[in-house]
Amino acid sequence: MRSAPAPRSAHSMRRMIVASVLVPALFLAVWLAGCQASFVYPPSTQDSATSPIQHVVVIMQENRSFDNLFHDFPGADTVDVGMSLGTPVPLVPVSLADPLDLDHTHPGWWQDLDNGKMDGFARSNMNPPTFAYAYVPRSEIQIYWTLAGQYVLGDRMFQSNTGPSFPAHLYMIAGQSALATEPPDSGFWGCDAPAGTTVPLLGPNGTDLFPGVFPCWDYATAADLLDARSMTWRYYAPAGGNPINVDSAYDAIRHIRYGADWNRNVIYPQTQVLTDIQNGHLAQVTWVIPDYLHSDHPGSGSVEGPDWVASVVNAIGQSKFWNSTAIFICWDDWGGWYDHVLPPTVDAMGPGFRVPVIVVSPYAKHGYISHHVHEASGFIAFIEHNWGLGNLGARDATADDFSDCFDYSQKPRAFAPIATRTTPDKLILEKPSGPPDDD
């Protein structure tokens, strides 16, 4: 349980009040300017009356582009050679455990995009400068390839925003980030941030506008739609060095953070999901966030992310919940890694570059490559359409809902356990490694 926030100074309060009044008007023009050439998602074919899905699980990993994680996957759109400022650069293998991280800020995204040429990923501070032109060896991520081969892999999944994890996770729960483009400058993900913490907002032409606003908002989320129907949900997340630093996007939503949902539905550590499933408990909607060593984040020095994902999938697959569950495995942002596919434009915030998505369910099409355009707001759209919840009026209202990935007329497939190098008991007993990302 987190403690109450420290009182804010009069100066801090005045700044928040001014920001709350001026920000909507100031950024409306920026938002509309980015909507001029917009992409329209196809209408949903999902029918809540015939859906057998009673549980939805979103497992969100970290910072990998599609070309980086599924290089040469059969039937998927990948390349062996990228472009750097007009010069061909062969993609080379780089371990999942490599110690280097890459620029994945909002301005960095615009540099990578290079006016739509998709060739600005090189950085002078890297050795070599073209370090981003890389892929993870299949031997380290065979678990992901096995899941993708048995179920559904999407090669037109784009991260929702054009920047790092904090806004990406807000899109995962709300279909928007209130125009926030970066992480809070204190490292705390929301209302528990120290007084004076700010998060920059969307500026024109790939810029961040500072100082920004305090990272605590009150817009509607998927949790509100679920609460309105008395449906169950859980958000499993790692804690930082103290219990008030839980890496949960819901910490940035004031009425969740300071309401009954916080102590009831925001669960840490994240490994509790394994214990809960073993004990016969799975909410109707579940979000699962890894800690650092199990996140696939560049610089973690670990190759344990695939085992973490497979352990959660195995726990569900070997439980009573398998025949009624849809699992979405995704990566929140591109992490600075090269990808060759130009993203569509929906609005001023994105979408960003391609990231992988794997859809696992007894009703998922077998060995199917989805070429439909998806993004993280689509997880909310799937939930909304599956239970007829309406929508939040944000990106979820028009996002594709992954309906092409399912065939509800097929007999539910028996689950085949995924081979792992570790056990759930070991994961539960491991010392926590903290939040998955400094952003």
Does 3 reside within a domain?
no
Number of domains observed in the structure of the chain: 1
- pLDDT at residue number 129: 98
Q: Residue 21 burial by CB count (10 A; 0-12/13-18/19+): exposed, middle or buried?
A: exposed
134: Cα separation from own chain's centroid: 21
Distance CA(238)–CA(290), nearest Å, equals 7
Does 101 reside within a domain?
yes
Q: Which residue has the tokens 């509800």?
A: 408
Q: How many CA atoms does the CB half-sphere of 171 hold within 13 Å?
A: 31
pLDDT, tens only, 30-40: 433 444 446 77
411: CATH = 3.40.720.10
Closest to 73 measured CA to CA, from 159, 138, 151: 138
User: Contact, 278 vs 316, CB < 8 A?
Assistant: no
Does 100 reside within a domain?
yes
- Give every residue of the chain whose pLDDT is below 70, as ranges: 1-38, 48-49, 240-245, 433, 437-439
Does 4 reside within a domain?
no
Structure-block tokens of residue 240:
């930082």
Distance CA(19)–CA(256), nearest Å, equals 21
pLDDT, tens only, 181-198: 999 998 888 999 999 999
Q: What angle do CA 308, 171, 428 make, to 5 degrees?
A: 20
Structure-block tokens of residue 95:
């371990």
- pLDDT at residue number 247: 80
Structure-block tokens of residue 99:
């110690």
Q: 27 lies in which domain range?
A: 10-429
- 350 pairs with which residues across the strands? 347
Q: What angle do CA 324, 364, 165 make, to 5 degrees?
A: 90
* Whole-structure pTM value: 0.91
- 153 pairs with which residues across the strands? 358, 369
Does 435 reside within a domain?
no
Q: What number of residues does the chain have?
A: 439
Does 65 reside within a domain?
yes
- pLDDT at residue number 377: 98
SS3 per-residue string spanning the chain: CCCCCCCCCHHHHHHHHHHHHHHHHHHHHHHHHCCCCCCCCCCCCCCCCCCCCCEEEEEEECCCCHHHHCCCCCCCCCCCEEEECCEEEECEECCCCCCCCCCCCHHHHHHHHCCCCCCCCCCCCCCCCCCCCEECCHHHCHHHHHHHHHCEEECCEECCCCCCHHHHHHHHHHCCCCCECCCCCCCCCCCCCCCCCCEEEECHHHCEEEEEECCCECCCCHHHHHHHCCCCEEEECCECCCCCCECCHHHHEHHHHCCHHHHHHEECCCCHHHHHHHCCCCCCEEEECCCHHHCCCCCCCCCCHHHHHHHHHHHHHCCCCHHHEEEEEEECCCCCCCCCCCCCCCECCECCCECCEEEECCCECCCEEECCCEECHHHHHHHHHHHCCCCCCCHHHCCCCCHHHECCCCCCCCCCCCCCCCCHHHHHHCCCCCCCCCC
Does 434 reside within a domain?
no
Closest to 73 measured CA to CA, from 428, 354, 262, 397: 354
Does 282 reside within a domain?
yes
Supply φ then ψ for residue 266, to 5 degrees.
Answer: -95, 110
